[in-house]
Amino acid sequence: EAGVAQSPRYKIIEKRQSVAFWCNPISGHATLYWYQQILGQGPKLLIQFQNNGVVDDSQLPKDRFSAERLKGVDSTLKIQPAKLEDSAVYLCASNYVRDWRGYTFGSGTRLTVV
Amino acid sequence: GENVEQHPSTLSVQEGDSAVIKCTYSDSASNYFPWYKQELGKGPQLIIDIRSNVGEKKDQRIAVTLNKTAKHFSLHITETQPEDSAVYFCAANRGSQGNLIFGKGTKLSVKP
């Protein structure tokens, strides 16, 4: 089966600019996650969707970050305006509802804010 | 809030030796503990997991042990090979919320 697809792979922007990331989960996976991984740290959950509804966005900086999953499949994560501390790898993961073994990550988007 | 602590942050071993990475968790409701391997430029990949009703699980050269009373779980890699070099993350589920909290990672280097 195809894996979790993410694009772009790399992005460099100046602070205060906006940026968007795209994720296409594994077919049939109802749950989709966005994680932020700062260099040298473990992934930190930003937002969790089940189908097109938000399950957990408690750690999403809502003043600058937004995410949507309009048709319960693809998802986009946006940052506006970006700050230097947003430099990180943004990972998308998906799984069947409560199927822990199916928790599969994409390769991520590496964002550098200069 | 919920937390997962992981030690050591770096580990260097000779090829053929064993490697052990340890984690502790804080959420008493956690009942699923996976381990992920992350190679440079790639997303984390699941290598082994354990549920709270099991104390130990083994898959070829890797094994995981769980002590629910102490809230500890560990990854054991035997007969290490250079291709085992990577960053390893432990994780625990956040109760019923269906997402994972990750440790900060251990960079394992296996020297030939």
The tens digit of pLDDT for each residue in A40-49 reads 999 999 999 9
pLDDT digits (tens, 9 = 90+) for B14-61: 999 999 999 999 999 899 999 999 999 899 999 999 998 889 999 999
A89-102: b (≥16 Cβ within 10 Å) or e: bbbbbbbeeeebeb
Instruction: Please give the full DSSP string across A3-18, using - where no structure is assigned.
Output: --EEE-SEEEE-TT--
Smallest CA–CA distance, residue B72 to chain A, in Å, is 18
| Strand bridging mode A31-37 / A88-95 | antiparallel
Q: To which residue do tokens 């990577």 refer?
A: B86
Q: Which of A93, A100, A107 minimises the CB distance to B32?
A: A100
Residue A96 Cα distances to A93, B3, B15, B54, B59, angstroms: 11, 24, 38, 23, 24
Q: Which of B52, B96, B100, B101 to mutate to test the interface with A (most CBs of A within 10 A)?
A: B100
d(CA A41, CA A114): 20
Partners of B90 in beta bridges: B35
Mean pLDDT by 10 residues, chain A (114 residues): 91 98 94 95 94 92 95 94 98 83 88 98
- Classify burial at A32, counting beta carbons within 10 Å of its beta carbon; exposed 0-12, middle 13-18, buried 19 or more: buried
